[in-house]
Structure 1
Amino acid sequence: MTYALLSAVFLGVAALVLVVALATARDRASLIRRWWAPVLIAAVVVLVLTAVFDNLMIGVGFMTYDEVRISGARLGLVPVEDFAYPLAGLLLLPALWLLTRRGSRS
């Protein structure tokens, strides 16, 4: 199994949970209007931190990758597949919050 396939599975599951959460939210339009900017800001911050710290960890040898399992596309030392996990988190956390809230409009 390649890292790209594993990453696609994580992103797919997170996206599916978000779609279900938004589909069942009564105030979906309001949520999207209010959330797009904070989620975008969080995405930029998390992706920059991922790029910086993953490059450091790979550079000092804490992490290694089997070259035949990565796509070959890199940002510095980081395979692009590494960015799927923080993106999945950015999709999944708001979705889980939506699915677990109780009756309050948020």
Structure 2
Amino acid sequence: MVGLVLLLCGCRAHYPVAQETGKEDMAYLLFVSPNVYANQYVTVTLDDQTKFEAKVVKAKKSNRRGTSYAISTGRKKINVESGGKIIYQKEIFVSTQETKIITLP
């Protein structure tokens, strides 16, 4: 019985996984929303150049189930759009292996 308890305690998951893997000089973005944009795709623009689609996860599930998007480190200007409307605009700084959570309305 004691062995079973020790085994279960030793199986604890370590997350977020994105911080433990990948290239050294990369940072990660995770997009979350409590209600409106959860489970939808948004258009993300970095520094008015790089554009990609990102899936937004519900805020309470973000610790385990979110898709992280790798970006280079440093100061970034980020715009997030949905339906042609800007819903988030900010300048951020991300460091090596950091996962920055972007909370949308």
Determine if the TM-score, normalized by the shorter chain, exceeds 0.5.
no
Higher relative contact order (CA 8 A, sep 6+): 1
Query: Of Structure 1 and Structure 2, which has the larger fraction of its residues in helix?
Result: 1
Query: Of Structure 1 and Structure 2, which has the larger fraction of its residues in strand?
Result: 2
Q: TM-score normalized by structure 1?
A: 0.25
Q: TM-score normalized by structure 2?
A: 0.25
